């Protein structure tokens, strides 16, 4: 059996469409499935739609979060709930084509343990967004020694991989990168990013920036290394200036500018180090990844 994990945040218009499209794709190949919707603290009627669907369809179940915990937390809740021999994670907005699931499933049957959906193109993005996304994935990719440029959350994982992921103690896991980091036998399946059927993307610039900073700090020491580089640069400038002042008088204005500049660099460095400290503190507190406020189970066949 395959467990289909669908994170949903304010997707009332798409729950039943997503179910139909996924069920159609799986039924065509007679693949036995359970479908798990995770309502990530929606403020619209997403949860009511999931409850209604689970009453009609015996293989549908749902988890309701007490508030919005983010897509990664929703994916992890799905992985923990999944009972299938493999799990596939797919967006609710049908931007990941469900028709690719049977192809991924067949690769899993051939022994692959992770089948990653890789975007053929990054879909419609404006130039600035695309540049930021590329830089972000370059930093993460270089920290992990893999190409993350076209990575997505559309993945099929063997049960063992899912278990490894949910048993990691990280409180704020970055699913897309961690599922690459764990290793195992991997292959990829290319897909065209579809346009969103209904509703709108949940990402605002502020959230994207936070997402990028959080994930870079959890995978890469690059910002700390930048701090070291800035320190080396300042020491070099100071040494050069020190030698120069032996032979030439230096304007006091230049000295003030250099002092303010180095003060700025020190403050930025403190900020970066403070951020890493905060991340450590956040992990040490050990708060749960998410809080569940409601569950609707699959119906038994004779109910
Ligand atoms: N999503 C979620 N929690 C969030 C934001 C998004 O569960 O806080 C879900 C959303 O319902 C969708 C998927 O994650 O199923 C992808 O979200 P979206 O389409 O907004 O992202 P984009 O495709 O624009 O990257
Ligand atoms: Mg989307």
For residue range 67-113, list pLDDT tens digits in order: 999 999 999 999 999 999 999 999 999 899 999 999 999 999 999 99
Task: Yes or no: say if 137 and 212 are a contact pair by the CB < 8 Å rule.
Answer: no
CB 177 within 8 A of CB 149: no
Spans of the chain below 50 pLDDT:
none
Predicted confidence at residue 84, as pLDDT, reads 92
User: What CA–CA distance (Å, rounded) separates 5 from 92?
Assistant: 9
Task: Point out the ligand nearest to the CA of residue 201.
Answer: 1
Give 158's DSSP letter: E
Please compute, for residue 172, the number of CA atoms within 13 A of its CA located in the half-sphere on the CB side: 20
What is the three-class DSSP state of 221? Answer: coil
Query: Beta strand 33-39 with 2-8: parallel, antiparallel or unpaired?
Result: parallel
For the record, the structure tokens of 79 come out as 């992985």
pTM beyond 0.95: no
Mutate to test the pocket of ligand 1, among 6, 63, 90, 91 (most ligand atoms within 8 A of CB): 91
Q: Give me the pLDDT at residue 249, please.
A: 81
- Return the structure tokens found at 238: 């100071």
Query: Which residues, at least 6 apart from 23, have a Cβ–Cβ distance to it below 8 Å?
Result: 33, 35, 57
Ligand 2: distance of its center to the CA of 94 in Å? 7
Q: How far is the CA of 14 from the centre of ligand 1 (A)?
A: 12
Q: Residue 159's pLDDT is what?
A: 95
Per-residue pLDDT at 123: 60
Give the number of the atom of ligand 1 that is nearest the alpha carbon of residue 6. Answer: 15
pLDDT at 225: 87
Q: Write the CATH number of the domain with boundaries 2-218.
A: 3.90.550.10
Give the Å distances, CA to CA, from 40 to 45, 68, 289: 12, 5, 12
């Amino acid at each position: 059996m395959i467990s289909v994990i669908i994170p949903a945040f304010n997707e009332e218009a798409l729950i039943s469409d997503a179910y139909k499209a996924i069920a159609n794709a799986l039924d065509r190949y007679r693949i036995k499935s359970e479908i798990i919707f995770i309502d990530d603290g929606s403020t619209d009627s997403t949860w009511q739609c999931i409850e209604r669907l689970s009453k009609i369809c015996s293989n549908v179940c749902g988890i309701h979060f007490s508030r919005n915990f983010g897509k990664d937390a929703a994916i992890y809740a799905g992985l923990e709930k999944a009972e299938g021999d493999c799990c596939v994670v797919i967006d609710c907005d049908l931007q990941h084509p469900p028709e690719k699931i049977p192809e991924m499933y067949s690769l899993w049957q051939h022994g692959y343990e992770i089948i990653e959906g890789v975007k053929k193109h990054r879909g419609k993005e404006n130039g600035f967004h695309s540049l930021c996304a590329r830089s972000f994935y370059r930093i993460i990719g270089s920290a992990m020694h893999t190409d993350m440029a076209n990575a997505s959350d559309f993945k099929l994982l063997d049960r063992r991989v899912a278990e490894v992921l949910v048993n990691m103690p990280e409180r704020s896991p970055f699913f897309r990168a961690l599922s690459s980091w764990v290793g195992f036998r991997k292959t990829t399946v290319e897909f065209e990013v579809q346009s969103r059927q209904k509703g709108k993307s949940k990402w605002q610039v502020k959230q994207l920036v936070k997402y990028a900073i959080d994930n870079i700090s959890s995978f890469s020491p690059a910002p700390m290394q930048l701090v070291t580089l800035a320190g080396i640069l300042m020491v070099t400038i100071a040494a050069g200036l020190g030698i120069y002042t032996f032979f030439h008088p230096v304007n006091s204005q230049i000295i003030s500018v250099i002092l303010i500049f180095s003060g700025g660099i020190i403050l930025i460095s403190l900020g970066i180090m403070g951020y890493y400290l905060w991340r450590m503190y956040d992990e040490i507190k050990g708060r749960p990844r998410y809080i569940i406020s409601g569950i609707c189970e699959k119906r038994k066949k004779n109910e």
